[in-house]
Chain A
Amino acid sequence: MDRTSKFSKVYLALVFIILYAPIFYLIFYSFNSGGTMSSFESFTWEHYAAVFSDTRLIMILINTIIIALLSALLSTVIGVIGAIGIMYLSTRKSRSTLLSLNNVLVVSPDVIIGASFLILFTMVGVKLGFASVLISHIAFSVPIVVIMVLPKLQEMSSTLIDAALDLGASKRDILTRVIIPYIKPGIFAGFFLALTYSLDDFAVTFFVTGNGFTTLSVEIYSMARAGITLTINALSGLIFIVTLLLVLGYYFVTNRPKNPLRSGGPK
């Protein structure tokens, strides 16, 4: 028993090392004054300076963030409305039909989503660029929000709504003062997931981006295809920190309602 537990510890440690090694490898060489990822010469910040002095890269970064925030916001609105709509559909059959259609985009490979959206935008006549990227990011984030919000709605007791109706609340009151506050954790989770999906997406964006507009993922791809540039390493250092902050933020936001002090507060 002791031997297996020792073995299990070694195994887990190995998996952790393998999962994190490439990331720290990237960040380590971002401080290398030599231009390669193989021999470390001396410590330098120059690659970080290069990132911040490259106005084109900064523009791409801003574009990526704007797309992520806007798409997360809009997909959260559509997704929440959709989830509430699905929840209060009268028949079970229409509910499950909508749900399976909802999940199509979640399981579809990125390449299919990208290719079919490319056809769609060309047919409809949307110019490839900011608009097409934003629309497709909204499109693939909506089902994720629905999936995050639905369980919260299902767990909400219908007596809450009955009570509100008995107390004379209007439909609007029920939505804004009963349902939305109750499903808030689900909404936050959906928003954060949509944000990370958008920031992370490469394949779909690659298809619908056209010539003039780029997001960070697509830019990294074209840089990486050209070979090793330590600017990418510096970028990954920055992205790692931002990701950590996002994960921690998400962790705290979704775990907050469990805090007894906080849940007593708003009253």
Chain B
Amino acid sequence: MQSSSKRTYYLIPYLAWMLLFVIAPIILVVYFSLFDLHGNFSFVNYQNFFTSVYLKLTLSSFWYALLITGFTLLIAYPTAYWLTKTKHKHLWLLLIIIPSWINLLLKTYAFIGIFGVFGPINAFLGMFGIDQQQILYTDFSFIFVSVYIFIPFMILPIFNSLDKMNPTLIDASRDLGASTWTTFTKVIFPLTINGVKSGIQAVFIPSLSLFMITRLIAGNKVITLGTAIEQQFLVTQNWGMGSTIAVFLILFMVIIMMLTGQKDKGVLLNGQNK
């Protein structure tokens, strides 16, 4: 009895942190979403959210996030796969991770120069007689920069799951006459699906809420849910509407987490295979 009260006493700072910064903020966001601009209780923000403006915004935000996640996965999977085949793979992995530790803003800022009208990409295109293009402030530049930023976050979980995979399974599949492609689709990919899922989680949710890349690279042309929240909170000062969008973003987040949730099934299966 004495020891259990001692243990709860230990937990106080941590529980206080949790109450103040995890539970209270969520409650506050939901609470604020129920007030209109003049501080009256109403569902007007929710009504607004279901108008064409916000529905379109949500859809386009999802579309961009989908594109970003898709391209990131397409680039990251082969990279992770071939990384596991190299000598000193952990050193190479570290080298892949280092760019993700460089400040996000700086990497984004670099692309303002790279994609600029007089930048290297336009100079390169100019060598083939292609006229100067406006690359900055387009959908392409936004997606490219986002994919660039998210690649390491997708590679890491996929690399880990590939690394954990038992290599004899691939030999077995080859011995049984499977082609390289069949081995990949029937053996390797299903066994690394958990890594892919955590990668998708790590990319899709942030890409719904990006706002500084849209501001710097897409020049307010692309509006994501994140941009809308920032706009409502810091520019329009309409915290109610901002909170409403935040509530929906939280809901989407929960849904995505459930869809990509890990059931530890793969691990169990691996154990059984042995």
Taking beta carbons and an 8 Å cutoff, which residues of A are in contact with B? 5, 8-9, 11-12, 15-16, 18-20, 22-23, 25-26, 29, 36-39, 77-79, 81-82, 84-86, 88-90, 98, 101-102, 104-105, 107-113, 115-120, 123, 136, 138-140, 142, 146, 171, 196, 199-200, 202-203, 206-207, 216-217, 220-221, 224-225, 228, 232, 235-236, 239-240, 243-244, 246-247, 251
Contacts and interface: CB of A to CB of B under 8 A. Distances in A.
Interface of B: 4, 6-7, 10-11, 13-15, 17-18, 20-26, 28-29, 32, 75, 78-79, 82-83, 85-86, 92, 94-99, 101-114, 116, 118-120, 123, 148, 151-152, 201, 205-206, 208-209, 211-212, 215-216, 225-226, 229-230, 233-234, 239, 242-243, 246, 249-250, 253, 257
Contact of B246 (A9, A86, A115): A115
B231 to A, nearest CB: 11
Contacts of A236: 102-103, 106, 109-110
Question: Which 4 pairs across A and B sit closest by C-beta, in order of nearness?
Answer: A82-B14, A37-B113, A116-B25, A109-B209
Given A38-B123, A81-B10, A196-B101, 6 more contacts: A25-B114, A37-B113, A78-B13, A85-B14, A140-B21, A220-B103
Contacts of A88: 7
Contacts of B201: 107
Contacts of B101: 196, 200, 243, 246-247
B6 A171 contact: yes
22 contacts: A22-B110, A22-B114, A23-B99, A25-B120, A26-B113, A37-B112, A38-B116, A79-B14, A85-B7, A85-B15, A107-B257, A109-B209, A112-B246, A112-B250, A138-B17, A139-B17, A196-B101, A200-B104, A202-B212, A217-B103, A224-B216, A244-B98
Instruction: Give the secondary structure class of B's interface.
Output: helix
A131 to B, nearest CB: 14
Nearest to B119: A38
Nearest to A8: B82
A11 B113 contact: no
B16 to A, nearest CB: 9
A108 B23 CA distance: 13
A220 B105 contact: yes
B118 A39 contact: yes
Contact of A37 (B78, B108, B119, B209): B119
Instruction: Give the secondary structure class of A's interface.
Output: helix
A104 B99 contact: no
B99, B108, B216: residue with the most chain A Cβ atoms closer than 10 Å? B99
A19 B29 contact: no
Nearest to B78: A11
B123 to A, nearest CB: 8
Contacts of B20: 120, 139
Contacts of B25: 113, 116-117, 119-120
Contacts of A18: 148
Given A88-B7, A232-B106, A22 B148 contact: yes
A81 B13 contact: yes
A118 B216 CA distance: 23
